[in-house]
Structure 1
């Protein structure tokens, strides 16, 4: 197999392209997050309804992943990712020209479907084009790009909303995304190890049954569901206490709070390397433990500790996601990698939608303390499930290479 060598020009071009693709995907996907409390005030809606601006996009993404998984082996990976990024950018611009929140939510749902073509194919592309010994490091860089993308979108939207309004902010973000998408299309090397092949519906169903019959993969899917859900829950609703008394943070200052996601850039690369050296079972448990500490820190009434808690949440989440996503590529057989990656992301964004939205209900009825209790229970469950996933030797060893 002709794989991309680390340090080569193809490696650098791939890294740049994936970075830009991640920025577009996650900047657009999570751009309304710093605006959720503003939406509640402007449109007089509940936290859960305002949070639907993120949840509906991730529901659309989850649906799109199902569709993509049926055609991913037939369509050129580069073309599919490029089309996804370009259409997402155009929809992001269109979303800025509506003043009806219901119509805005419809476009956000469409954005979720459109954007699904990048993340599902990106992981399959990396798993095909790089040697298994380098997957932990390469996936770590890709996940780092997702944290940078989310950061860029949230900061740009927060600052520009204070300067102008949220519609102008989304327009500027959409135009920048369109530019990055064109660069991605030009820079990404073509696939070396992908051969288009037709897959019948029967074969797709057989692959689906196979992936769900593997307890290691199912455990990783459920772990991703819970980790992503808790992470999005905290970021969706932390704006309510921070932009209210006694803190009264402005949209600009609150937007810059998401700088803490840069810690995710560090942790994803660090834990990706750790996963290549040590038992993934123990590395992911450490990541979830760090995430739990961050969640509990947000209970503090002291502003510094509350913000530090969000930072620790970001560090722990991206660490866990880096390990789990790389683990899926190793646990799945070669012929099941694309669908396994899509299913991982289906659960991942399903957690963002369902758990993130349900957190708004807990917050509305039981306050911040009640929501944090709910999040803590989910994280304990995630640790137990991840250990369940490690029950199969195949998930801990990279196809006999000795990498753990």
Structure 2
């Protein structure tokens, strides 16, 4: 698949996923709902992402990733345009749920398509580039939706994003289809076997914790910014996510970090330690310090994510669809719980209690990843 097309679809998919996040306070006011109810706009999309990737992984054992992408991208584009036209909060929730049912098809198929065309020795480099594109989409979606809401209209952002997704379909249609995987029975036993293979369950579980903490912090950042700066615009709230740029640096540097530290295990542990430590300055009631903590937070998060996604793919073999389905499922199941449960803590105990809970989950994830079986570095940086 051409790199520009891969980049465009991935970025737009993450525009859809994270575009509403800086708008949550505005949407809460507009539709007369609470903070935790508004956070359901993120939960509704993340919920299917926690389960559906396993089903799509099974589909990808029989159907080419190109076919799944064509259907998924088309449906996502339509659902995103309809989201912008909705006039009731319940309709917004329903459409976010629909987006969540389609997004895992696009993300799982994209990871599978990349791994199908990549040799194991280049897997870390290719997956790091893919993770960098997801970061670009997550950052761009938040910044642009905030800018549209402040200077134009928030609905225009989603209409433009949906239309752009539909415009990629003619290009996807021209991409040669890779052969579908050999048909095989998908059972609970086979899924468990893939989960346990090579001790990768530790990575899947660690990724669950990673994204629980990530979504838990970033979902309630807009409300924290409003607490510290009551007059903050949606654009200013969007800017707090600018720490995402460190994620691009981390993803592209992942291979070098592994080489310098000598093993995957050390690189994963280092990223996770930085990630959890970044929660501490987020406790300080000072807006610039909060901004700075997000930079460190994203640096650690995406270093772990880039290394983990490549690690499970290097030994995937013919089980690429299921391996990526399990990875995406573990990732977003953590996100589902992280998008809502910390909100209950936030409403009942405030920001400090929320950070304490997130730190505890982060420490569990750190323990899981450091127990992963060591894998030596593959050679000099850049390979």
TM-score with structure 1 setting the length: 0.88
Count of residue pairs brought into register by the alignment: 380
**Against the structure 1 CA distance between its residues 120 and 284, is the aligned structure 2 distance closer, same or farther, given a 3 Å change threshold?**
same
CA contact (8 A) 1:234 1:310 kept: no
Alpha-carbon distance in structure 1 between the residues aligned to 2:299 and 2:32? 33
Aligned pairs for 1:81-96 within 5 A? 81-96=69-84
Q: Who is 1:225 aligned against?
A: 208
Residue number in structure 1 paired with 2:183: 198
Aligned residue number for residue 10 of structure 1: none
Task: State the shift of 1:232 in Å.
Answer: 1.1
Work out the CA distance in 2 between the residues paired with 1:94 and 1:42.
18
Q: Where in structure 2 are the equivalents of 1:1-400 lying within 5 Å?
A: 14-179=2-167, 181-182=168-169, 185=172, 188=175, 190-191=177-178, 194-201=179-186, 204-214=187-197, 216-246=199-229, 248-275=231-258, 278-332=262-316, 334-390=317-373, 396=375
CA deviations on 1:161-198 (whole Å, 9 max, x unpaired) are: 1223322332222223333x33751675543xx44422
CA distance in 2, matches of 1:101, 1:205: 37
Is the CA contact (8 Å cut-off) linking 1:281 and 1:387 kept in structure 2?
yes
Task: Identify if the C-alpha distance between structure 1 residues 42 and 265 changes in structure 2 by more than 3 Å, giving closer, same or farther.
Answer: same
Cα drift, residue 355 of structure 1? 2.0
- Structure 1: stretches of 5+ with no match in the other structure: 1-12
3-state secondary structure, aligned to 1:118: helix
Q: Could you tell me whether the CA contact under 8 Å between 2:281 and 2:293 is conserved in 1? A: yes
Deviations 1:60-107 (A, max 9, x none): 223321321221111111121232122111110011111111111011
Report the Cα distance in structure 2 between the residues aligned to 1:275 and 1:121, rounded to whole angstroms.
27
2: distance between equivalents of 1:152 and 1:183? 24
CA deviation after TM superposition for structure 1 residue 300, in Å: 1.5
Contact 1:24/1:89 (CA < 8 Å) preserved in 2? Answer: no
Q: What is the deviation of 1:276?
A: 5.8
Indicate conservation of the 8 Å contact 1:272/1:322, yes or no. no
Structure 1 stretch 276-285 or stretch 92-101: which is displaced more? Answer: 276-285
Residues in 1 aligned to 2:165 and 2:180: alpha-carbon distance in whole angstroms: 29
Equivalent-residue separation in structure 1 for 2:356 and 2:343 (angstroms) = 13
Distance 1:290 1:187 in 2: 43
* 1:319 to partner: Cα distance: 0.9
* Partners of 1:183 and 1:132 in 2: CA distance: 30
Runs (5+) with no aligned partner, structure 2: none
Give 1:31 shift.
1.1
Asked whether the equivalents of residues 17 and 183 of structure 1 are also in contact (C-alpha less than 8 Å), the reply is no
- Bigger shift: residues 14-23 or 240-249: 240-249
For the 8 Å contact 1:207–1:336, the answer to whether it is kept is no
- Is the 1:155–1:256 Cα contact (8 Å) retained in structure 2? yes
Answer whether contact 2:31 2:88 (CA < 8 A) is retained: no
Verify the 8 A CA contact 1:56 1:109 in the aligned structure 2.
yes
Partner secondary structure for residue 284 of structure 2: coil
Q: Which moved more, 1:347-356 or 1:239-248?
A: 239-248
Which sits farther off after the overlay, 315-324 or 43-52? 43-52
Kept in 1: contact 2:112–2:321 (CA 8 A): yes
Q: How has the CA–CA distance of structure 1 residues 272 and 20 changed in structure 2, closer, same or farther, with 3 Å as cutoff?
A: farther
Shift of 1:254: 1.5
